[in-house]
Amino acid sequence: MAIPKNIFFLILVITFLNKVPIGLCGSLEHPLVKIIKKVLDEKVISGRCAEALGIFLNNLDGVGGDDDIWALQMLDATAKVPVGLVSYSFGEIGHFYQCTEIEAKRENIKGKYCIGNIVINTSVAELYSRQFHNENMKYLVSKIGGSVKMVGKPSWAMCLPHNCNIRDTKILMNKSQPFGFGVNSVTCQTIEDVYPSLTRDAVIGMSILSFLTFIVLLSTSYDIFCQNNKKAHPGLIAFSLYTNGKKLFQNSQRSTNLTCLDGIRVLSMFWVIILHTWTVYTSGPVYNSKDVIKMSNSILSMAFINGDLACDTFLLVGGILVTYVYFKKHNAHSLGLSTIFQHYFHRIIRLTPPLAGVTLISATLLRYMGSGPNWPYIVNYFEGFCKKYWWSTLLYIQNEVNVNEMCVGHSWYLNVDMQLYVFSPLIFWILSKHSKTGITILILASAWSIFLGFLRAFEDELSGVHPNSFSKTPSHVYMNDYYLRTETRAAPWLIGTILGYLLTKKKCTDIYLPKKITIPMWILTFAVILLCVFGGFSTLRGPEYNKLQNAFYIAFVRPSFAMTVGWVIWACATNHGGIVNTILSLQIFQFLNKFIYSMYLIHVTSLYMIIFSTKTAVYISIFNLAYWFWGIFMFMFGISTIWVLVFEMPIVVLEKVLLPPSDTNEECMKAKSNKKPIV
């Protein structure tokens, strides 16, 4: 019988409070010492590990000498019973550095830090049949049993001699977990793992980045030299930090009427960072799980959880810019092979270099950029997946080829956007020849995407609010069958293409609406936005699952949100935006918008690097989340500045040198140059 999540805490309490204190309080012998002696007597571990543990016990008894306390350090670095256990504090993960820095030269033993996820191998009925040491324990079980949910995965860490392998470690950990506990997903690290030697892949990665750095310095030096001597060739200063830096930190004159897009993109990026700050920090070791559970069950948490609606805003804006830029620049008869080639080339050459930079570092250098108890997760998943599937990342087909092993996983959005972009010339042709027919086809395609989302959600019994602790369907099913699929996420992009086309038509942009219409529309807009973000709180998160209700929510929440944001964009572009347009068009948003694509690419990997290099549990609160957000944002801003100067702006210059624009329409060129993939 599977253990419900609300029993998880109960078993932890029984284990630690009912068993462990015997060793801690009833005797001077540490519980781990008892376990090691028992395992040695049973002879179930390897000979090398048994020999090392024997030396460990002798040293602990003082045989090794008064000044040699490595065994005591090893014992001390092992995780202990955490304080605040009744408040669901499971953040005790031992002392990582104390363990890995242990070196007994005479005995030739080094410290090995091992951590594993706790699993349950017992039934609820068997659990409640256990005999407890005292009435207080019975009272505790009666009060908390069946009423507690968990945050994250509790872990258990041990510090052992390096001679013990993974199998030995699992045996020792499982022996230390009475009452049906088990441990899986064990990872171990020694000092060599904390400070790994350079591999061939790392040398290749460093060589590529060093060469790129050399090009940047050479281009910058040439640019500075030419300031007072001669006119520089545009192609030779493409990588110049001097010229690109001046352009980057100067606000250009904006002639397009879509200035509100800057604010929408920047605020959407803020929302994405807030979402991932919440999800990443709560996935690591948490000190105050009880408080996090309360926060997760509050309506405020919906503002974090539904931050993924920002990706639908990105898709909407991407669709708008695709058609808006094309129809502002081209006429109905200009869609030839040369135009199509430039259309695709422009997209690929702008998107791929920054993504390739993130992929290169993820595949070759990430393991050297941090350390910690959970750092192997970074190495195995982020680095491992990128080594295996770097090619599908750069071909924008990960959401079809290797959906369970995605390199730069958050680039799924780029996959969806690029795959839809492939069909854009066909959309241009239909809209150019038969605009009404084209709009009808786009509406039908949007409806089909919505229907597919409903069908997948209904068949797979997906939860409308994700993640949901009451969901019957595993998380990977939600991601693989719905969230990452182009066909189920296409509606916002298709809606954007319709809106972008209409914004190029004078009869659509010259419409004047009186205040008696615009005011109710703005009220309705804010109401729909709030409904999309908070509407599923009371109806979709309870234990009573309603298949039809969840399917409708999944199918319609994203298109509804996209259409609402689309109204905001149309209103701002047609002088019906008022103060909203004024705010969204602020110069600060125009400036920050230049960094959005690079910031999107690097922020998730950086967040995981921060949390998985943490050596202790974190205390989560609204104040701390706000503090982390601004710190993370400033960190991302610094890194994204480098990314823009090295991977984005030089490509813009080189593209103009290789393919000089034939159209000199200033508005078109500015709209094109300001166009961002996610944004």
Write the CA distances from 425 to 76, 395, 532, integer angstroms.
65, 19, 32
pLDDT band at 112 (very low <50, low <70, confident <90, very high): very high
pLDDT band at 29 (very low <50, low <70, confident <90, very high): low
pTM recorded for the entire structure:
0.87
Which pLDDT value is given to residue 21?
38
Quick check: helix, strand or coil at residue 161?
Answer: strand
Least confident interval from 91-95, 322-326, 441-445, 567-571: 91-95
Quick check: helix, strand or coil at residue 320?
Answer: helix
Give every CB contact of residue 510 below 8 A, 6+ residues apart in sequence: 574
Which pLDDT value is given to residue 80?
78
The DSSP 8-state label assigned to residue 366 in this structure reads G
Average pLDDT over residues 317-327: 94
pLDDT band at 175 (very low <50, low <70, confident <90, very high): confident
pLDDT for 13 beyond 50: no
- Please state, rounded to an integer, the average pLDDT across all residues of the chain: 83
pLDDT for 338 beyond 90: no
Nearest to 235 by CA among 662, 656, 674: 656
Which of 100-104, 181-185, 351-355, 507-511 has the largest mean confidence?
351-355
pLDDT for 135 beyond 60: no
Which pLDDT value is given to residue 3?
47
**Taken in order 376, 381, 382, 384, is the CA torsion positive or negative?**
positive
Which pLDDT value is given to residue 291?
82
Which pLDDT value is given to residue 386?
94
Which pLDDT value is given to residue 272?
94
Amino acid at 331: N
pLDDT for 122 beyond 90: no
593 φ/ψ sector (left φ>0, alpha ψ -120 to 50, else beta): alpha
pLDDT greater at residue 181 or residue 43: 43
How do residues 382-422 score in pLDDT, each as one tens digit? 898 999 999 999 999 999 998 889 999 999 999 999 999 99
Least confident interval from 81-95, 244-258, 376-390: 81-95
Token readout for 201 is: 């892949």
Nearest to 78 by CA among 60, 92, 62, 89: 92
In the numeric block, the tokens 């993924």 are attached to 308
Average pLDDT over residues 82-107: 80
Which pLDDT value is given to residue 88?
63
Which pLDDT value is given to residue 305?
85
Q: Provide, rounded to the nearest whole percent, the portion of the chain with pLDDT above 70.
A: 81
pLDDT for 548 beyond 80: yes
How do residues 571-623 score in pLDDT, each as one tens digit? 999 988 889 999 999 999 999 999 999 999 999 999 988 888 888 888 888 89
pLDDT for 133 beyond 80: no
Average pLDDT over residues 231-241: 89
Quick check: helix, strand or coil at residue 185?
Answer: strand
pLDDT band at 90 (very low <50, low <70, confident <90, very high): low
Least confident interval from 250-259, 440-449, 526-535: 250-259
Number of C-beta neighbours around residue 232 at 10 A: 17
Long-range pairs, 512-515, Cβ under 8 A, ≥24 = 513/576
Number of C-beta neighbours around residue 478 at 10 A: 22
pLDDT band at 177 (very low <50, low <70, confident <90, very high): low
pLDDT greater at residue 498 or residue 658: 498
Which pLDDT value is given to residue 668?
46
Which pLDDT value is given to residue 174?
82
pLDDT greater at residue 650 or residue 124: 650
Instruction: Decide if 7 contacts 171 (C-beta within 8 A).
Output: no
The C-alpha R_g of the chain, in whole angstroms, comes to 29
How do residues 250-297 score in pLDDT, each as one tens digit? 877 766 678 999 999 999 999 999 999 988 888 777 887 778 878 887
pLDDT greater at residue 560 or residue 123: 560
Token readout for 370 is: 């941090």
Nearest to 613 by CA among 409, 379, 388: 379
Which pLDDT value is given to residue 317?
96
Which pLDDT value is given to residue 331?
66
pLDDT greater at residue 441 or residue 121: 441
pLDDT band at 156 (very low <50, low <70, confident <90, very high): confident
In the numeric block, the tokens 């290169």 are attached to 360
Q: Provide, rounded to the nearest whole percent, the portion of the chain with pLDDT above 90.
A: 47
Token readout for 289 is: 């799980």
pLDDT greater at residue 176 or residue 624: 624
